[in-house]
Structure 1
Amino acid sequence: MVVVLMVFAGRLVHIQVIKADHYAAKAEEVRLTTVDIPTTRGAITDASGNPLAMSVETRTVFVDPVTVLDDERDKVIDELTQRFDLERADVAAKVGDESSRYKEIAQDVAPEKWKKLKEVGLTGVGALPDYKRVYPEETGAADVLGFTGADGHGLEGLEAVLDDTLAGEPGKQQVEVGSSGVRIPMADGLTQEPVPGKDVRLTLDRDIQWHASQALNERAEELDAVGGSAIVMRPTGEILAMADFPTYDRSEFSEAPAKARLNGAVSEAFEPGSTNKVITLAGALEEGLTTPDSVYTVPYSMQIHDRTFKDDHFHETQRLTLNGILAQSSNVGTIKVGQQLGKQRLYDYLRKFGFGEPTGLDLPGENAGILADPDDWWGTQLPTISFGQGLSVNAAQMASVYATIANDGVRVEPSIVAGTVSEEGGLDPSAAPPRERVVSSQTAQELSRMLEAVTGEHGTAQAARIPGYRVAGKTGTANRVDPETGTYNGGYTAMFVGFAPADDPELVVQVVLHNPKGEYYGGQAAAPVFTDIMSFALKSEKVQPSGTEPPNIRLFGNG
């Protein structure tokens, strides 16, 4: 027995004296763990710094059932039940469950609310810091901004695209974990300070965004459209508003169908219809094949191979200038111009104006549309593409075409992120978007005058006029393909896109309505929305009325 006791004593001396430091370190390793300390997600603001998405500090309130005093148990249950509007039985079950020392009671609790509860002095009730993502109401930008998940990271929209910039880096802290699993923060356990995310400033204007959303939604609901979009942008590509219909409530995003969460301004591809005619005419003008006053004989219909092409409304054979072809949106006249230009050159100009490739906005779900290689065009594809059938685009691409004309022929890739905000509050601007001259200044000015005739006395969009301002633009009405049959039985897409003031362009507005009922021509369905949005945007931007009279444009030839 003496020998056995001596062995045990020697072993104790070895563990507690000789190897004491070693085993203490091992024990500490078992008890210690590293946890994340939440950090603030950067805000998303409009161009003036108005918040569109922001993070607010909150608390997660919990109870440690082991430390709740017996004589306070009922008071703890009552206070938690009343302050957080909970079922008393559920709270009582958590307070009485001593199998865990951490029972979550409420999330997203305002700091002021927690402070008042803390002042009651209840033993066993605590709170952990956290952050909640909030979106100011009535911005109309849900489809653009997207939302974050429960972990605070972006799931859709700009929240997802800009997640690395907005999220920041959480801090790291060592905590000691007891046998019951409760975490005990260590006074010197902070191993990494949390780094807040950066604020991102967009080119959007909060007021214009809201108004565009309201005007679009009202008209889309009035005409029972299945979808639609509205874009306001500067000729230099900065997007001031990007509204979509249908949309959704971000506070209940999990209940919204996927289609309602898509940003249709970039995800919905459609045939551009007559809004595409401006590219055909731009190419012919730029190549010196025609002039605004060149006269064409335009019948109501013409036969090409096995197809008969017609204008929208019957008319006797007319003598129209190039101005008149665009003002009256003649399909037949545009086909004749397209034949002058030829398929290769038409394709080249479509590409120069940005078709068949992403816009550069880098928004989720973008559909770059379809533009077939000219070597694959069959007999009637040159005529159809010349007036806007047989290819597809998204709304942002089409808006960029008219921005290019308004910008004196120079295309600037559309942009929506102005930059990030530095710690000092200044703007660190995003890289300048690519620029390319597509047509000459002369061609752009000629097109502007021609587009102004569209809103004139003999044009197709008199509903797009705005008192005091000269307006240039184009209607579009395109057949929609039925995805089930592959035929043009899916209704219509109504469009209007234009800029103002036509004599000194400041703003471009694009409106698209998918399958409106009753009124479906672009001049009837979409032009009034254009007028509403453009009128508001001009006033909001304090754009002065036009100081010049519209030019006298010759639409008809002699004889």
Structure 2
Amino acid sequence: MSMKGEIIWRIGLIYVLMTLIAGAIIFKTLHVQMWEGEKWRKKSVAVRIKDFEVAPNRGDICACDGRKLASSVPYYELRWDASVVDSDLFGEKVDSLALCLSRFFGDESKAAYKKRLEMARARKKTYYLLNRRKVSFNELKKIRTFPIFRKGRNRGGLIEEMNSVRLQPHVNLATRTIGYLNEAEDRSFEGRVGLEGAFENELKGIPGRSIKQMMSGTWVPVTVEEPIDGNDIITTIDIDYQDIVQHALMRQLEKFDADRGTAILMEVETGDVKAIANLKRQSSGGYEEEFNYAIGDAGEPGSVMKAATMIAMLEDGYVEPEDTVDLGGKGVYAFFDKTLTDSDGKKPGKITVQHVFEISSNGIAKLVNDFYKDKPERFVNRLCGLDLDKKLGIPLKGEGDPYIKHPGDSTWSGISLPWMSIGYEVKLTPLQVLAFYNAIANNGQRMRPRFVKEIRHRGQLVEQFEPEEVGGRICSRSTLKKLQRILEGVVENGTARNIYTDKYRIAGKTGTARIATGKKGYQIRKYRASFVGYFPADHPLYSCIVVIDEPSLSKGYYASSVSSPVFREIADKVYSAAYLQYGEVKGEADKSLPVCKNGLKEDFLAVFDDLDIEVEGKADVKQNDWVLTASNEGENVVLKPRRITNSQVPNVKGMGLKDALYLLENAGLSVGVSGAGMVMSQSLQPGTEVRQGSYIHIELR
């Protein structure tokens, strides 16, 4: 082949190859465009767009007056993108930044921080953790002013990642009942304990979606589905009462060097749990909430069970309170090969049935054995008829199982009947015992313990939980009246004489029980001291139980000295507050002055002038339209200034409805009202900033 022919052949070959390649490219382009186009377009979007979940704000758990018991507070984790900082800026300001970080966190020296910053810079770290400690928003604002960081994220590299931290502002008050959050499988946090767990679905809210697109190297949000914040839970807990109950219990635990204790305060008419304290001795020597003994610790209640025993005997007509019974002269009662001995060491002899109960004599076991030994199922059925074998059905998880032994049980023996009558071989939690005594105070009507009154969303009512009656009356009216007198007698003439007061009447029952310890049973001397009752006995407002376990034997273990004084301290302080709320007058209280509400000054002056009541403090309130009122030792009325501004939520507690509505609506709030009388609580905290149109609920009594 000639040179020319070879050249033409080679050029032709190249041309054919180029044509084939061009054809293949065109074919592939058409294939990608037409047949695989949707697939690659989706991948392109996936690279340029990310879908983020936006966490909602968890709802608050609030006390009955709206004060927060648990709330989510934003905290920030600080990281640093060293790659975006200009070299000249870094060299000039790194020393100053290191000094600021060292002074702020106080955990490392300036030199250590400088070394860390230089290392991150050299390694071009884009997500470097500056410190493990999370900072508050106010702290973050200060950090933003540090050298380098003040240039902003794109030039200073400061990365702020917000996380919500669940806090309980009133530290250690009702901690186990409020509950806490646990980490879930997806590394989020969820409530599993207490109210946090019981109302998890209402509190957690609904997450939103944030779709962000990569533009010029930065993720920019282009579409947002807003999250729906969680609802707020309005509980029945009163912070002031909770503080009273918890500190009274703690002082007594420390005094008697006890292992643990619980105390519960309940409103008789509604079953509202106003305070609930559970304290356990720690290795450090102090006491903290570790387990909700009030709800979960089902144990042998001891002599507080005798109220149920007395109902059974009264209902069956076996005894009357004034009947005289002969308990013998030794105070020792034999049942087969076992004996029960009265703890006071006195010889009871012939005494009334009422006094048997008042002094907590174990002679009551003798009476039960005499009346029911041939028909024990009748006695057991009486106990079950009081619903003592049923759970309360509260929303909180972990309620202990009550246990009432039956004659057909494998563990039933010849001593089961008398032992059950004094609170052994049965199990109840402190809350279950209190619910029973609360029914006695509430004219025989059992109430389900209520922990939550309302669910609200941004102030608007979502759901309301009304007081709930459980079953019918626990016994006949005649039996109830007899038992109420007997319970008052315990305080006036019996084992709880040490807490008697002439200011108001208390009804209740002491209980001192041996605690069984595993296989050793009752060989080890450990005791549970209990007192449960209600006050004021002639018009019951509150019921209360105090249970203290394993007090030091050398310091005392009888309920009369261990648990009863705690009840009295709680009752004194709560009754004082109730006296102010309900306007009750007891003993020699002065009735010469009317009960005054807080409100408009001119209205008060007109009324007091008409009633010829002397008024003090007029000069102090000269510039004030709104005043507080108080009495000066019952002789005259004192006016004190009350500051009202429309930029803050007014404090309308103690006012009448007319004045309260005037102030709240003038402040731009939407008002809901329940009850009658004077304002006792308001759902928005006084002094907080007013948000126009926000809802506030006021409760009058």
TM-score range, shorter chain: 0.7 to 0.9
1:91 Cα offset (Å) = 5.2
Of 237, 250, 262, which aligns to 1:229?
262
Q: CA deviation digits over 1:197-255, x for unaligned, max 9?
A: 1100111110111111111111112111111100100223211111011278xxxxxx9
- Correspondent of 1:153 among 175, 190, 203: 190
Determine which of 67, 71, 81 is the counterpart of 2:88. 71
SS class of match (1:428): strand
Q: Does 2:200 match 1:163? A: yes
* Post-superposition CA distance 1:312-336 (Å, at most 9, x none): 2333352222211111111113430
Deviates more, 1:409-418 or 1:105-114: 105-114
Q: What residue number does 1:292 align with?
A: 321
Following superposition of structure 1 onto structure 2, how do residues 133-212 of structure 1 map, counting pairs within 5 Å?
A: 133-138=166-171, 140-149=173-182, 151-176=188-213, 185-190=219-224, 192-212=225-245
Q: 1:488 to 1:419 in 2, by over 3 A?
A: farther
Cα distance per residue 1:510-557 (max 9 Å; x no partner): 0011010121000011111111111111123335667589xxxxxxxx
Alignment of 1:37-436 (within 5 A): 37-73=54-90, 74=94, 79-85=100-106, 87=108, 88=113, 89-90=115-116, 92-94=118-120, 96-98=122-124, 100-101=126-127, 103=129, 105=131, 108-118=134-144, 120-122=150-152, 123=155, 124-138=157-171, 140-149=173-182, 151-176=188-213, 185-190=219-224, 192-236=225-269, 237-246=271-280, 261-299=290-328, 300-337=331-368, 339-340=370-371, 342-376=375-409, 377-426=412-461, 428-430=463-465, 432-436=467-471
CA–CA separation in structure 1 for the residues paired with 2:558 and 2:369? 23
Note closer, same or farther for the CA distance 1:512–1:195 as it changes in structure 2 (3 Å cut): same
Larger Rg: 2
Q: Secondary structure at the match of 1:475?
A: strand
Could you tell me which of 536, 542, 548 is aligned with 1:507? 542
RCO comparison, higher one (Cα < 8 Å, 6+): 1
Q: Is the 8 A contact 1:94 1:103 kept in 2?
A: no
Q: SS at the partner of 1:541?
A: helix
- SS of the residue corresponding to residue 313 of structure 2 reads helix
Greater alpha carbon shift after TM alignment, 427-436 vs 501-510: 427-436
Aligned to 1:471: 506
| 1:14 aligned partner, one-letter code | L
> Mean alpha-carbon deviation: is it higher for 412-421 or for 502-511?
412-421
- Calculate the TM-score normalised by the size of structure 1: 0.88
Q: Where in structure 2 are there 5+ consecutive unaligned residues?
A: 1-16, 589-701
The answer to whether the Cα contact below 8 Å between 1:31 and 1:176 also exists between their aligned partners in 2 is yes
In the TM superposition, what is the alpha-carbon distance from 1:494 to its structure 2 partner? 0.6
CA–CA distance in structure 2, aligned partners of residues 338 and 91 of structure 1:
82
2:497 matches 1:454: no
Structure 1 CA distance, aligned partners of 2:370 and 2:540?
31
What is the match of residue 648 of structure 2? none
- Show the counterpart of 1:555: none
Match of 2:518 in 1: 483
TM-score of the superposition, structure 2-length normalised?
0.71
Distance 1:200 1:57 in 2: 20
Aligned to 1:552: none
Change (3 A) 1:533 1:432: closer
- CA shift at 1:189, angstroms? 3.1
Superposition pairs of residues 10-25 of structure 1, within 5 angstroms = 10=26, 13-14=29-30, 22-25=39-42
Deviation for aligned residue 1:389: 1.3
One-letter identity of the residue aligned with 1:136: P
Structure 1: unaligned runs, 5 residues or longer = 249-254, 550-559
Please name the residue that 2:19 is paired with: 3
3-state SS of paired residue (1:49): coil
Measure the CA separation in 2 of the matches of 1:159 and 1:257: 26
Deviation of the 1:29 alpha carbon: 2.3
**Distance across 2 between alignment mates of 1:125 and 1:86:** 20
List per-residue Cα deviations over 1:463-499 (Å, max 9, x = no partner): 2223400111111000011125233424111111111
| AA aligned opposite 1:503 | D
Alpha-carbon contact 1:56-1:133 (below 8 Å) kept: yes
**1:91 and 1:105 in contact (8 A); partners too:** no
Partner SS state of residue 72, structure 2: strand
* Corresponding residue SS for 2:223: strand
In structure 2, C-alpha distance between the alignment counterparts of 1:234 and 1:35, rounded to whole Å:
47
Letter in 1 for 2:413: W
The answer as to whether partners of 2:454 and 2:464 remain within 8 angstroms in 1 is yes
Q: Measured at CA, do residues 548 and 211 of structure 1 come closer, stay the same or move farther in structure 2, by a change above 3 Å?
A: closer
CA gap 1:492/1:23 in 2 versus in 1, 3 angstroms: same
Aligned to 1:554: none
Q: Deviations over 1:86-115 (max 9, x none)?
A: 541455545554355465755643223323
SS in structure 1 of the partner of residue 533 of structure 2: strand
Question: How many angstroms does 1:402 deviate by?
Answer: 1.0
**1: CA distance, partners of 2:199 / 2:286:** 23
Is this contact kept in 2: 1:354–1:397, CA < 8 A? no
The alpha-carbon distance between structure 1 residues 101 and 28, as it changes in their structure 2 partners (threshold 3 A), is farther
- Residue 274 of structure 1 and its aligned partner are, at CA, apart by 0.9
Instruction: Give the Å deviation of 1:36.
Output: 1.8
Contact kept in structure 1, 2:444 and 2:480, CA below 8 Å:
yes
Change (3 A) 1:43 1:61: same
Q: Deviations over 1:181-202 (max 9, x none)?
A: x9x5443232x32111110011
Residues 52 and 128 of structure 1: CA distance in aligned 2, closer, same or farther (over 3 Å): same
Looking at structure 2, the residues matched to 285 and 325 of structure 1 have their Cα atoms a distance apart, in angstroms, of 14
CA distance change for structure 1 residues 171 and 106 in 2, over 3 Å: closer, same or farther? farther
Conservation of the 8 A alpha-carbon contact between 1:409 and 1:443: no
What is the aligned residue count?
539
3-state DSSP class of the match of 1:66? Answer: helix
> 2:479 is matched with which residue?
443
CA drift of 1:444 comes to: 1.8
